Amino acid sequence: MTEPTGTTLDGSHTTLQDRARRRIVAPILWALASLVLITTTACDFNVTNPGPVADEFLDDPGAHDAIVTGASAMLSESLWKAQLLGGETTMEITRTGRNFAGQGIKTPPNLGVLARDRGLSASFWSAHQQARWIPESAVTRFDELLGGESNSYEFTARALVKAGFANRILGENVCTAVIDGSGPQENQAYWERAEATFTRALEVAQAAGEPELAVAARAGLAQVLGRGLGRWGEAASHAAQIPPDFTYEAQFGDGDVPEFNHMVYITDGDSWRDLTVLNSFAEDYYLETGDPRVRWEDTGRTDTPDGLRLLRQRKWTELSDNVNLASGREMRLIEAEALLEQGQWQAAIDLINGLREGLTSDHDGTPIPQAEANSLEEGWTALKFERRVELWLEGRRMGDTRRWIAENTPGEMEDLSWVMRLCVPIPQNEADNNPNIPQDWVDPANPLFSGSVDR
């Protein structure tokens, strides 16, 4: 396999394979260190660093759990970076200035102009590509080690599911596909890769007796077939099999900075106050309805970098709160969109209102108002708004908006395309290190974008 290239956070060049292997090996090193600690005497608390781990060590079945754990950690990092960059770019949340610059995350000086710069590579592109490469390489390893037995192996199923969601995140957020050092490809390559990965994940999970993984793979298929490939009938068929209370989540923890839920970390009001709900759609909508899906609180603080009021999101409140990659509630919206594609707007509204049943206002406990529509166009307007509310800050808005604009979908929505690129271009780092990327390459942009697309 060709090694994909990338850039470290300090700007030095390395391969993504080297960086990815370190993410895989880290859990193994900690596991070995823990064993050393456990076997020492009661008075000896020294731990000997086991040192570098040879690649062959990863062939040991005892290491396979750690390999997939590394893939899970990288997928979570990929997601939180999509949440932050996409949330600011589509104005789901408002920048208060910039204190936090950890983990290389940054947005451009001109909001929404996602430029081909080196900082963007470190913060976004490399994380997404590693999140894809780690589980895909794990599947290759398991297949080579186990042969046909890999088709019923739990860790193959787990790695495939991670790889499927990593490719979906890439498809939603990146302008152009580059796979392991390839030249530029159509963005659709990520969606096709995700479809193949989720299809196999479903088969392997079923053969391995892992029903929860099978449901996650099916939910991923519903996302990809509909929103990525436009095969809405198949998408709805898969979505209908997902129970309403199902969730498949990116895992977060409170141990170290990379493990945090960064939507909590960067809005906590103590260490960082870089993002506020002020002037976003959620500010007014929550004041009007108290809909708990866009919950925020006024901290009363204005000690943000630009002096803006800190209205703190409360969708998540703890650093260890997980974030949905797929849910049964989203599946109802996929079914609704499939119905709208067929012109069945009343049935779509019924599904949307099914999501609102049981939701009560944080303000006074009254039911959240039902969605209304009297035409197909109004049905599309309701669907677009419901996805905006249901998936708020989950890293989905940039892909949603770009696709609806490109397809000229009916219905009203906040259209930022004239000032927003709405997808991440191939960064300069990749062009510098990948000979298959022309230096004068210019990524496609959404149809109405009128800003600079080269730098």
In tens, the pLDDT along 279-293 reads 999 999 999 999 999
Q: Is the pLDDT of residue 194 over 90?
A: yes
Amino acid at 142: F
Residue 449 Rama label (left phi>0; alpha psi -120 to 50; beta): beta
Q: Is the pLDDT of residue 5 over 60?
A: no
Residue 55: per-residue pLDDT: 76
Confidence of residue 48 (pLDDT cuts 50, 70, 90): very low
* Cβ atoms 260, 319 nearer than 8 A: yes
Low-confidence winner among 41-45, 220-224, 274-278 (lowest mean pLDDT)? 41-45
Residue 451: per-residue pLDDT: 47
Distance CA 402, CA 274 (A): 26
Q: Is the pLDDT of residue 363 over 60?
A: yes
Q: Is the pLDDT of residue 31 over 50?
A: no
* Cβ atoms 92, 105 nearer than 8 A: no
Residue 52: per-residue pLDDT: 57
What's the whole-number average pLDDT of the chain? 84
Confidence of residue 252 (pLDDT cuts 50, 70, 90): very high
- pTM for the predicted model, two decimal places: 0.88
Cross-strand pairs, 326? 248
Residue 87 or residue 104, greater confidence: 87
Residue 139: per-residue pLDDT: 98
Residue 223 or residue 109, greater confidence: 223
Confidence of residue 99 (pLDDT cuts 50, 70, 90): low
Strand, helix or coil at 391? Answer: coil
Confidence of residue 257 (pLDDT cuts 50, 70, 90): confident
Q: Is the pLDDT of residue 263 over 90?
A: yes
Low-confidence winner among 146-150, 314-318, 440-444 (lowest mean pLDDT)? 440-444
User: Which residue from 425, 448, 426 is spatially nearest to 114, judged by alpha carbons?
Assistant: 425
* Mean pLDDT across 60-87: 93
Distance CA 276, CA 202 (A): 39
Residue 418: per-residue pLDDT: 53
Q: Is the pLDDT of residue 140 over 80?
A: yes
* Cβ atoms 115, 425 nearer than 8 A: yes
* Mean pLDDT across 295-306: 93
Residue 445: per-residue pLDDT: 57
* Mean pLDDT across 152-161: 98
Q: Is the pLDDT of residue 136 over 80?
A: yes
Low-confidence winner among 231-235, 286-290, 299-303 (lowest mean pLDDT)? 299-303
**Can you tell me which residue has the tokens 């436009």?**
230
Tokens representing 407?
């397809």
Residue 164: per-residue pLDDT: 98
* Mean pLDDT across 146-173: 98
In the 8-state DSSP scheme, what is residue 370? Answer: P
Residue 11: per-residue pLDDT: 32
Residue 47: per-residue pLDDT: 38
Q: Residue 7: enclosing H or E segment and its boundaries?
A: strand 5-7
Residue 43: per-residue pLDDT: 39
Report helix angle 328-341 to 345-356, nearest 10: 160
* Mean pLDDT across 289-310: 94
Q: Is the pLDDT of residue 407 over 90?
A: no
* Mean pLDDT across 186-195: 97
Tell me how crowded residue 435 is: count the other CB atoms within 10 A of its CB: 10
Amino acid at 229: L
Question: For the chain, first and last CA: distance in Å?
Answer: 31
Domains and CATH numbers, the chain: 5-233+423-433 (1.25.40), 257-323 (no CATH), 329-406 (no CATH)
* Cβ atoms 214, 248 nearer than 8 A: no
Q: Residue 311: enclosing H or E segment and its boundaries?
A: strand 311-313
pLDDT digits (tens, 9 = 90+) for 418-438: 555 678 888 888 888 999 999
Q: What percent of the chain has pLDDT over 70?
A: 79
Distance CA 57, CA 59 (A): 5
Distance CA 162, CA 252 (A): 15
Tokens representing 113?
């102009």
User: Which residue from 293, 67, 295, 27 is spatially nearest to 159, judged by alpha carbons?
Assistant: 67
Residue 336: per-residue pLDDT: 98
